[in-house]
Structure 1
Amino acid sequence: MYLRTNFRLGSISTSLRNKTRHHDHQPVIAFTNCDHGEAAPRSTQVKCRIDRGSARFAATHLCELPASRETGSPHYNDKKTPGGSVSNEDRRRWNERYRGGAYQSREHPSAILLEWQDALKGHSALDIACGRGRNAIHLASLGFDVDAIDISDIAIQQAAQLANSTNLRAHWINHDLERSLPLEGPYDLILMIRYVNEPLLSTAIKLLAPQGKILVEEHLISDENVIGPTNPEFRVQPGSVQQTLGSLEIEREFEGLIREPDGTWAALVRVLAQRV
């Protein structure tokens, strides 16, 4: 089935293209963490572990982290560091935020993940800028073997503990995404939700398996009264995500205003694209 609708909402043109596929997921769940940002096969990434049925968190090493930011609901990159090196100040601020209980109420998956879940399939997944892991944990519950990467080691620990409390596991990775993406893939599914990093997005699509899909959601530049970054550098122009994903087949896309679960409004682009 192929459906396309176009309409106007506020000052933003909105379109939706939808190809729906239904599938079943088999429960396949795992948990690991990587080392020092060097690309490594998934089978060699084990560095920390949470054991099923135990709250124990054992870490032999946590590698560097991506410079990302979250305001309200979004993840976005708000500081470029010279040469792509990690910012210790960014890391410190993020760790303080998570230690202070930020985002603890957000254990539910992102709305887009639930709304477009019917089109997602496969066994391996990567969640870029995962925060406290709500989306990674949801993917694990669907049967995906998940790698999840973020700037904050505190967020990674909280995510791992949350996963353990639900008897689910994922591979949790600390790394500076401004420098590299230390994974080889391939992945059947990649998430990049509210984290703006166009070069990384271009790199991420190279990690897709044949027929693999990438799900992207970013804040749009908008004159509307919407939540999210106040600095337009951390929003994207309409059509820019689709352009970056130009080598893929766009399966679903949306640009417009979305009402958030808390009642606020966000100007968003949503794209689901497949490697063909």
Structure 2
Amino acid sequence: MDPIQKWNEKHKTKLEEKKPQEPNSLLTQLIPAVMDGTAVDLACGLGANSLHLAEKGYDVKAFDISDVAVDRVNKQAAESKLSVEAKVADLATDDGIKLVADTVDRIKSAEPGETSSADAVIMTYYLERKLFPFIKDLVKTEGYIFIETYVSVPGMTDKPVSEKYKLRPDELVNEFGDWGIVYFDFNEEAGIQTIMARKK
């Protein structure tokens, strides 16, 4: 089954279950509200995080491989009159990353060779390592990243995703160690890591 079909079916099933979609609880606690700012939600799924960010004052650009999810996010945003624009993008491809870059207003900063556009970039339960340099470039100085996903834990029997889609235990800290780490948690029992960091 190709990834688009797989995720469309997963999201259709969730919608049929009619369970409320809740934003990430740590994100709701940690991300600051703004008067005016841009947030990027990568692999947004059914959009609970995107909608929450919009409620906190962000103009949200959201991306997901599933057109079922994207249609749902745009419908909910329109009904709630929230500033969320969702687009279909395969973030594992160069074309998908280019779409994100083209959608988000990329403004050159005062530093030569540097770009800045997003006040916050969110990525939960999705891992594509080649996105890390892109995310670092996308976030403005003093902007935030929030990442939460599965991590490889030796001997763990419950394996919700393949090992190739799991973080290495020290990966997030190594990637964003030169940023200011606002929050970090490694839940070994659940096999989940969370980081929120601020770009210096």
Query: TM-score, normalised on structure 2?
Result: 0.80
Amino acid at match of 2:30: W
Kindly state the Cα deviation for residue 216 of structure 1 after the two structures are TM-superposed. Answer: 0.8
Per residue, is there more helix in 1 or in 2? 2
Q: Is the CA contact 1:215–1:272 (under 8 Å) kept in the aligned structure 2?
A: yes
Q: What percent of counterpart residues are identical?
A: 23
Q: Is the CA contact 1:120–1:189 (under 8 Å) kept in the aligned structure 2?
A: no
Q: Deviations over 1:115-164 (max 9, x none)?
A: 323x5656110000001111000000111000000001111001112223
Q: Is the CA contact 1:193–1:217 (under 8 Å) kept in the aligned structure 2?
A: yes
Return the structure number with greater relative CO, CA threshold 8 A, min gap 6.
Answer: 1
Residues 1:273 and 2:197 are matched in the alignment: yes
Residue of structure 2 equivalent to 1:189:
120
Residues 1:172 and 2:103 are matched in the alignment: no
Distance, in Å, in 1 between the alignment partners of 2:74 and 2:136 is 26
Listed as ranges, the gaps of 5+ residues in structure 2 are: 107-116
Q: Is the CA contact 2:50–2:60 (under 8 Å) kept in the aligned structure 1?
A: yes
**Partner of residue 114 from structure 1, selected from 28, 40, 50:** 28
Distance, in Å, in 1 between the alignment partners of 2:191 and 2:30 is 18
Distance, in Å, in 2 between the alignment partners of 1:266 and 1:153 is 30
Residues 139-150 of structure 1 correspond to what in structure 2 (within 5 A)?
139-150=53-64
Kindly state the Cα deviation for residue 197 of structure 1 after the two structures are TM-superposed. Answer: 1.0
Residues 75-224 of structure 1 correspond to what in structure 2 (within 5 A)?
89-102=2-15, 104-117=18-31, 119=32, 121=34, 123-180=37-94, 181=97, 182=99, 183=101, 184=104, 185=106, 186-222=117-153, 223-224=155-156
Q: Is the CA contact 2:150–2:167 (under 8 Å) kept in the aligned structure 1?
A: yes
Amino acid at match of 2:163: P
Say which is worse superposed, 166-175 or 212-221, in terms of deviation. 166-175
Q: In structure 1, the residue corresponding to 2:130 is in which secondary structure?
A: helix
Distance 1:97 1:256, change over 3 A: closer
Residue of structure 1 equivalent to 2:109:
none
Amino acid at match of 1:93: K
Give the aligned length.
180
Kindly state the Cα deviation for residue 208 of structure 1 after the two structures are TM-superposed. Answer: 0.6
Q: Is the CA contact 1:160–1:169 (under 8 Å) kept in the aligned structure 2?
A: no
Distance 1:224 1:132, change over 3 A: same
In our comparison, the structure showing a higher alpha carbon Rg is 1
Kindly state the Cα deviation for residue 210 of structure 1 after the two structures are TM-superposed. Answer: 1.6
Root-mean-square deviation (CA, aligned residues, Å) is 2.2
Kindly state the Cα deviation for residue 207 of structure 1 after the two structures are TM-superposed. Answer: 0.4
